[in-house]
Structure 1
Amino acid sequence: MQKVSNRNFIIILAFVVGIVGGIAASLLKGLTHWIASFLQDDIDWHYKYSLYLIFPLIGILLSVIYLRKVLRGKKFEHGITPIIYAISRKSSRIEPHNVYSQIVTSALTVGFGGSSGLEAPIAHSGAAIGSNIGRFFGLSYKEVTMLLACGASAGISGAFNSPIAGMIFSIEILLTEFSIPVLIPLLISSALAAVVSKILYSEPLFYTSVTGWEVNALLFYILLAVIVGLYTIYFSKFSQYIKKLYSNIHSPYMRVWVSGLSLGVLIFIFPALYGEGYLTIQQLLDGQFNAIVKNSLFADYRDIGWVIVAYTVLTLFAKSLAALVTVNSGGNGGVFGPSLVMGGLLGFAFAYGINMTGLMQLNVPNFVMAGMAAALSGIMHAPLTGVFLIAEVTGSYALMVPLMIVTSISYLINRNGMHHSIYTKVLAESGDLISYEDKDRSVLSMMKLRYVIETNFIKLSPQETPTERKKDIIHSKRNIFPIVEADGKFLGIIYSERLFAILLGEEEGANRNFATLAQKPNDIINVNENMDIVMKKMNREDVWILPVIDNNGNYLGFISKSAVFNKYRALLMRQGSYLE
């Protein structure tokens, strides 16, 4: 039998990942909507609607219980950021339990009314499917990364029935380089996931009819893009603030209570915050412009235009709080879906408000869709994903030009204000982000410090003297000696030049112990520091070699620029031979 080439084998696995990813997406959507339908429609009791206020708390609590009792201490992370981190620092290894844990926890969180989206969890589940299939077959880092991206593409494609957006999502968010060999597996996985999802769960995300766009409305699309771009900066900064607040709450169950009660209050005032929020967007696309107010405390004023606009704006800011509370609560969800909802609300408030002024009559549903694309582009730094996602989920490419304009402007505004997306800011600050804009830093971030530590150095004891270790010093092939205590604590260093001067009588100290002769190194490297920080320390001190210690101050070895450069060349060669 003829041996299957590496490239063809990857394509075969892309088929498998696409099918399994599509099944996972259908399962998540079906399970979530079954829970929501069961709570809202199938159960009939007198006080059911008042319990909507505590359903989100119950969902988050069940999710936390699952994580603590079923996973039993296994590390669980949610969102897109851990996927990017896995690519950058974990050789694209994602724990297998994420295949099902992401589905279970997000279905509980969102199905019970948590104000977040399913897209990030299903992308994470799909990425875990691709990663573990690649690892099962013993593939290389780049090949596992490829399948990881295929899985994420399949998840997004299956969730939205949008294969092109799924593929572009992985290219814009996860992969640092683009080439035709990368494109083909992504296309296959996304397409198959969309087919499987359509067979198993065919309900579309949105229904709408697009009638095209007016040239004289172009200025208003630009203005909307500027407003959305500024809002995405606010949301990104607000996200950091909420995350910092939650970092001070150490008890997972306290987080549940704080989040659950907060969501209950928010949903009581703004019913549109219950669940994903897509139902509200669908009503706006259908022309039911007062639907957002109709079921609220202000239902009596639902026919007053300015009340609708003001209440929509308040709901928009409440949605940002509710989404971030849900994401940080201990439940599972992402900001992908909330980005769409917030953008849709902002687009509606803008267009509806302009129409009320009489300046011009804008097509409100078109601006709802434009706002969705712009928000996704600005928050995620994914303009192409925003364009094609909205085009695909609405079933029309008639708005391509306005979508291209609003996504570009929103992206540029957010990037100018934040530089990094909501997913990558933390990784960029810690030096764990691979960026195609900085090839050297990208390759360095792929390097693991423990693999370039050199240990063939002669260790000297603080109590010993140069005379006692004369033979070892003379025959050493290294020009630097670590001085290490008996328990492994690193004390300092001493160079061979100084030792030779002492042994030859050019400098006093032949009978002094090394504790008194020890020199402080220019800097010290902690084993947990990434390579970008290591190189910055070396360049700042203009040194070729530095000692490495662990968190307890114990000596581990040295790291030299020579070892780093050799590893750097090896990684470049491995990247160059990818899929050849």
Structure 2
Amino acid sequence: MERRQRHIIYRLNQWRMQKISNRNFMVLLAVVVGIVGGLAAAALKGLTHYIAAFLQDDLQWQYKYYLYLFFPLIGILLSVLYVRRFIRKGTFEHGMTPIIYAISRKSSRIQVHNIYSQIITSALTVGFGGSAGLEAPIAYSGSAIGANAGRFFGLNYREVTMLLACGAAAGIAGAFNSPVAGMIFAIEILLPEFSIPAFIPLLMAAATASVVSKLIYSEPLFHLVTDDWEFQALFFYLLLAVLIGLFSIYFAKISVWVKSAFAKIKNPYQKVWVSGLSLGLMIFLFPSLYGEGYISIQRILDGRTDALLANSIFADYQHVGILVTVYAVITVFAKSAASLITLSSGGNGGIFGPSLVMGGLLGFAFSYGINLTGLIELNVPNFVVAGMAAALSGIMHAPLTGIFLIAEITGGYALMVPLMLVTAISYLINRTILKYSIYTKALAEQGDLLTHEDKDRTVLSMMKLRYVLERNFTILRPDERPADRRYDIIHTKRNIFPVVDTTGKLLGIIYSERLFEILLGENLEKKDQDKTMRELAEKPVDIIQMDVNMEAVMQKMNREDIWILPVVDADGNYMGFVSKSAVFNKYRALLMRQATYLE
């Protein structure tokens, strides 16, 4: 049956290659990916908001509000149970980092189950109150749609990567109804290099997904009414950008600490209890932490500055301006902790949404606090919008996405100049301290990040030692003498021989010049001709372990100024040799592959 299916797919590909040019076929597939991605985005938003609405509005029970302490725990527990029950053969990951890793190290392969499993688990996590965003899961789902569509039609790495990016763009465009931001997001985060033709499939996928999502789920994310920005507020926009840039550094630092803390908890259900109860308590104190948190931002944009405390235990103080400001600042730090706890404990979501909420709250606290001093009257909604863009830019290292996403989802195109300034400053501050974004830091530390700032290092990181390992060497045994292997030594094409015992251990190496001198009897005493290979073998200048990355291999070769080195496994067993010639050949092949990466 499987053989028959492969044959049908092969015949289908043959037909389409004859009838449709590759460029037009990519555009057609981008539209299909956009349609499916838009449907996935609408399904995720609809399912999440249905769960949240049922728990908050439809569920009628006298003691319902006591359950708010346990809703996040239930959501994360259901997500963990789903993964452990239904994803046994594959692996389940969340966030943007695995997508970037798939492009860099896995030839853009993403497991099929991510198309639906990302939607299910994130809807459960966020719908039950997990303090995370839906954007990373829908981008992951869209990427899986695009990548597997490319694999189905037997496309090459460049084309599959393009469709993967189209899927991610479709997911973001569908989630926010923002096609331009979806396209720019794919370029900034997933595609390190691109050319003009790359815009066409991305535009088609993002636009199609936005239309489909809007037809099914037309509710806009935010409403903003603003005419323009005032020049005298420029200094305060710049000051806000600096503050949020510094906060983005804090967020990146604390994310590492939270992840490492939860990594020490080995039992997944212990993580669920710890995170669920912690989230429940935080949501009890700060109700705006429930789910994505966009409702609180919209209320502030509507001018309801007291709404932040309205449903909390501090509701009696909602008209005390200084307390509102302090509460907003505390909520920002609580949101950072809540989102990281949600994502580190088994819940599925992203930092995209929390970044918007934290930035918006910082913009609100800053402008509202300045207004309380009486020095100047700032437009609070404008600063909320600017804060959202600045936070997205600093945390994700995506300034263009921050500009166009916020302009699209709020309609705040009149604020384009402040948006450009705050995103640039926030990005530069974060980038000055932290070279990599929260998405790419772990990959960079592992040497798995595809970056074009250091092309040599990037290409070397894409290599695997096993792919350049050479094994066609004549192996000599320790008890043999040169005369015993005369024929093999003379007729070999290699100038180096490994001496390996019967258990596979590498004992040393012998160069052909030494053996030829012995076999030809030139300037040697007879005792040298009687020596065994064990006695003739010499210790290599260095030995390469099989699990070492190629960057370390080249560093050793350059340091010792040597062209070839033996390779052994963890037990010291001989595996072969690695040479600069093989590395350079592979290097050229990868450069050619990158040259066509996104032409």
TM superposition score normalised by structure 1: 0.96
Counterpart residue number, 1:419: 435
Local SS of the residue matching 1:558: strand
Between 1:441-450 and 1:212-221, the stretch displaced more is 441-450
For 2:229, the equivalent position in structure 1 comes to 213
Q: What SS does the corresponding residue of 1:469 show, helix, strand or coil? A: helix
Q: Distance in 1 between matches of 2:114 and 2:504?
A: 39
Query: Is residue 2:104 matched to residue 1:104?
Result: no
> More deviation in 435-444 or 570-579?
570-579
Query: Which residue of the partner structure matches residue 540 of structure 2?
Result: 521
Larger Rg: 2
Cα-to-partner distance string for 1:208-230 (whole Å, 9 max, x where unaligned): 21221111111100000000000
1:164 to 1:553, Cα distance in 2 relative to 1, 3 A: farther
1:346 paired to 2:365? no
Counterpart-to-counterpart distance in 1, 2:302 and 2:537? 77
- Give the partner amino acid of 2:158: K
Query: In the alignment, is residue 566 of structure 1 matched against residue 557 of structure 2?
Result: no
Task: Say which SS state the counterpart of residue 140 (structure 2) adopts.
Answer: helix
Deviation at 1:180, TM superposition (A): 1.0
Q: Of 263, 273, 277, which residue of structure 2 is paired with 1:261?
A: 277
Question: What is the alpha-carbon distance in structure 2 between the residues aligned to residue 552 and residue 42 of structure 1?
Answer: 63
Give 1:312 deviation, angstroms: 1.0
How far is 1:574 from its partner? 3.3
- Alpha carbons 2:255, 2:340 under 8 Å: kept: yes
Partner residue in 1 for 2:345? 329
CA distance in 2, matches of 1:529, 1:399: 50
Distance 1:347 1:579 in 2: 38
Query: Which residue is 1:122 aligned to?
Result: 138
Instruction: Deviation per CA, 1:437-486: give whole Å up to 9, x if none.
Output: 22223333333333222111112334444443333223221122223343
What's the offset of the Cα at 1:349? Answer: 0.8
When residues 378 and 39 of structure 1 are mapped into structure 2, their CA distance, relative to the original with a 3 A threshold, is same
Change (3 A) 1:102 1:510: farther
CA 1:513/1:366 → structure 2, altered by over 3 Å: closer, same or farther? farther
Distance 1:277 1:501 in 2: 79
Aligned partners of 2:432, 2:70: CA distance in 1, in Å?
40
1:375 counterpart = 2:391 = yes
Distance 2:284 2:127 in 1: 17
Answer yes or no: is the 8 Å Cα contact 1:117–1:333 preserved in 2. yes
Change (3 A) 1:204 1:489: farther
Structure 1 residue 303: deviation in Å? 1.2
Against the structure 1 CA distance between its residues 458 and 51, is the aligned structure 2 distance closer, same or farther, given a 3 Å change threshold?
same
- Match of residue 71 from structure 2: 55
**In the alignment, which residue of structure 2 is the partner of 1:486?**
502
> Aligned AA for 2:587?
Y
Distance (whole Å) between structure 1 residues aligned to residue 32 and residue 205 of structure 2: 8
Q: Is the 8 A contact 1:123 1:156 kept in 2?
A: yes
- The reply to whether residue 35 of structure 1 matches residue 54 of structure 2 is no
Contact 1:434–1:441 under 8 Å retained in 2 = no
Task: Indicate whether 1:401 and 2:420 are aligned.
Answer: no
Is 2:382 the counterpart of 1:363? no
Q: Does 1:548 align with 2:564?
A: no
Kept in 1, the 8 Å contact 2:162–2:598? The answer is no
**Shift in alpha-carbon separation, 1:225–1:39, aligned structure 2, 3 A:** same
| Corresponding residue to 2:180 among 128, 153, 164 | 164
- Specify the alignment match of 1:283 in structure 2: 299
Distance 1:351 1:98, change over 3 A: same
Q: Give matches, 1:442-481, under 5 Å.
A: 442-481=458-497
Q: Is residue 439 of structure 1 aligned with residue 455 of structure 2?
A: yes
Corresponding residue SS for 1:290: helix
Query: Are the structure 2 counterparts of residues 568 and 338 from structure 1 closer, same or farther at C-alpha, using a change threshold of 3 Å?
Result: same
Kindly indicate whether the alpha-carbon contact (under 8 Å) linking 1:460 and 1:482 is maintained by their aligned counterparts in 2. yes
- 1:146 has 2:172 as partner: no
Provide the C-alpha distance between the structure 2 equivalents of 1:476 and 1:45, rounded to a whole number of angstroms.
Answer: 85
Structure-1 separation of matches of 2:467 and 2:261 = 37
Structure 1 counterpart of 2:100, one-letter code:
I
Aligned pairs (5 A) from 1:295-306:
295-306=311-322
User: Which residue does 2:9 correspond to in 1?
Assistant: none
Alpha-carbon distance in 2 for matches of 1:113, 1:491? 61
Letter in 1 for 2:340: L
Q: Which amino acid aligns with 2:588?
A: R
Matched residues in 1 for 2:71 and 2:528: separation? Answer: 76
Give the whole-Å Cα distance in 1 for the aligned partners of 2:569 and 2:33: 39
CA distance in structure 1 between the aligned counterparts of 2:501 and 2:78, rounded to whole angstroms? 51
CA contact (8 A) 1:523 1:546 kept: yes
Output one character per residue of 1:350-397: Cα deviation in whole Å (capped at 9) or x when no partner: 111111111111111111111110011011100000000000001231
| DSSP 3-state at the match of 1:399 | helix
CA distance in 2: counterparts of 1:176 and 1:124, whole angstroms: 18
* Equivalent in the alignment of 2:80: 64
Separation in 1, partners of 2:500, 2:285: 64
Bigger Cα displacement from structure 2, 312-321 vs 384-393: 312-321
1:176/1:579 CA distance change after superposition, 3 Å:
closer
Q: Distance in 2 between matches of 1:105 and 1:486?
A: 53
Shift of 1:432: 1.0
The residue type equivalent to 2:210 in the other structure is A
**CA separation of 1:75/1:516 partners in 2, compared to 1, >3 Å: closer, same or farther?**
farther
Could you give the per-residue CA deviations for residues 107-131 of structure 1, whole angstroms, max 9, x where no partner exists?
1111111011110011111111111
In the alignment, is the contact (CA less than 8 A) between 1:431 and 1:533 conserved in 2? no
3-state SS in 1 of match to 2:497: strand
Change (3 A) 1:287 1:566: same
- Distance change >3 Å, CA 71–CA 511, structure 1 → 2: farther
Q: Does 1:233 align with 2:252?
A: no
Distance (whole Å) between structure 1 residues aligned to residue 231 and residue 145 of structure 2: 45
My pick for the range that moved more, 332-341 or 261-270, is: 261-270
When structure 1 is superposed on structure 2, of 182-191 and 492-501 the one drifting more is 492-501
Which stretch shows the higher mean deviation, 216-225 or 455-464? Answer: 455-464
Summarize deviations over 1:164-185 as a string: whole Å, max 9, x none: 0100011111111120111111
What TM-score, normalized to structure 2? Answer: 0.93
Q: 1:235 to 1:490 in 2, by over 3 A?
A: farther
Q: Shift in Å at residue 39 of structure 1?
A: 1.1
AA in 2 matched with 1:302: Q
Displacement of 1:524 after TM fit? Answer: 3.5
**Aligned-residue RMSD, C-alpha:** 1.9
- Measured against aligned partners, the alpha-carbon deviations of 1:266-286 in whole angstroms (never above 9, x if no partner) come to 112222111111111111111
Match of 1:320 in 2: 336
Could you list the per-position Cα deviations for residues 374-424 of structure 1 after superposition, in whole angstroms to 9, with x for gaps in the alignment? 011011100000000000001231110000000000000000111110011
Check conservation: 1:7, 1:579, Cα contact below 8 A: no
Gaps of 5+ in 1: none
Distance of 1:498 and 1:247 partners within structure 2: 54
Task: Choose 542-551 or 359-368, whichever is displaced more.
Answer: 542-551
SS in 2 for 1:255: helix
Question: Is residue 409 of structure 2 the alignment partner of residue 390 of structure 1?
Answer: no
Query: Which amino acid in 2 is paired with 1:63?
Result: S
Q: Pick one of 62, 65, 69 that aligns with 1:46.
A: 62
| Stretch moving more, 4-13 or 215-224 | 4-13
**Identity score, percent:** 69
**What is residue 247 of structure 1 aligned with on the other side?**
263
Report the 3-state secondary structure (helix = DSSP H, G, I; strand = E; otherwise coil) of the residue aligned with 1:76.
coil
Q: CA deviation at 1:430?
A: 1.4
Alignment CA distance shift 1:363-1:328 (3 Å): same
**Aligned partners of 1:319 and 1:431: how far apart in 2?**
31
Q: In the alignment, is the contact (CA less than 8 A) between 1:32 and 1:110 conserved in 2?
A: yes
Tell me whether 1:224 sits opposite 2:240 in the alignment. yes
